[in-house]
Amino acid sequence: MRRVIFNQKGGVGKSTITCNLAAISALEGKRTLVIDLDAQGNTSQYLLGHKVNDSEKTITQFFKDTLSLSLFGNGNSGIENLIHETPFPNLFVLPSHPDLESLQSRLESRFKIFKLKEALEKLEGFDAIYMDTPPVLNFYSQSALIAADKCLIPFDCDSFAREALYTLMHTIAEVKADHNQNLQIEGIIVNQYQKQANLPRQLVEELVAEGLPVLAAMISPSIKVRESHTVSQPLVHYVPTHKLSDEFRALYAEIHNS
């Protein structure tokens, strides 16, 4: 199963959600791959403890090779050769690099939007793949949506985020219609949810009333998230008995039992 975590709004917790769901997947015994398509590389640093400086050992090299097609093949950096082990059993990452930014216009002009999907369809040895995306609809986020089976949408209980949500769901519907008929919105993940506050509760109730696929498991705000970023340990490793770890376990169980 290939999942993409996507929202065009920044600061909604995409990287945190990606890494923590993937970490639970790995603890469940599934060989799990995280693909970081955001040039900022936050997901790569969260799982590896550092950013990868050598672009030849990142997803950037894969995309560079798609621009080097010749009569003699695709280049010599198959996507499987760019995957890094993390310190956590069963959990692997295909890291990002800042050079992704400068490649984008060339990739778009050469119509390479399906290359990630083609590569992942051939990739063997993984039970689950999670893709983190930049907070914008660009070549890389579109590539991920085209390559994915399911899409998870983080929502941070903000009135502006609600307006953006409708545009986002229309965008996903267009990608589905034009490029990936198998793509399904798996659910909206309510993040930074303060159940005692009126506005978040009202926003969520209205989304549910409209029939939007809001997941029942919601993620609370906590300083433990930032702490886990600092020590580069997903929450189920950093604070396995904390309420937030339990919330992520509930979220994981919900999307896998639906």
pLDDT in the model for residue 77 = 56
Question: Nearest-CA neighbor of 217 among 21, 7, 12?
Answer: 21
Q: Encoding tokens for residue 142? A: 């579109």
pLDDT in the model for residue 257 = 84
Bridge partners (DSSP) of residue 33 are: 92, 129
Sheet holding 2-5, edge to edge: 84-85, 91-94, 32-36, 128-132, 2-5, 150-155, 184-190
The strand ranges marked E within 63-145 are 84-85, 91-94, 128-132
Q: Could you give all domains of the chain from N- to C-terminal order, each with its CATH number?
A: 2-257 (3.40.50.300)
pTM of the model: 0.95
Bridge partners (DSSP) of residue 190 are: 155
Walk along the chain (258 residues) and give the pLDDT tens digit of each residue.
999 999 988 888 999 999 999 999 999 999 999 999 999 999 999 999 999 999 999 999 999 999 986 434 444 458 999 999 999 999 999 999 999 999 999 999 999 999 999 999 999 999 999 999 999 999 999 999 999 999 999 998 777 777 788 889 999 999 999 999 999 999 999 998 888 788 888 899 999 999 999 999 999 999 999 999 999 999 999 999 999 999 999 999 999 986
Question: Nearest-CA neighbor of 50 among 37, 62, 39, 41?
Answer: 41
pLDDT tens digits, one per residue of 212-246: 999 999 999 999 999 999 999 999 999 999 999 99
Calpha distance 149→96 (Å, rounded): 21
Q: What is the 3-state secondary structure (H, E, C) of 91-110?
A: EEEECCCCCHHHHHHHHHHC
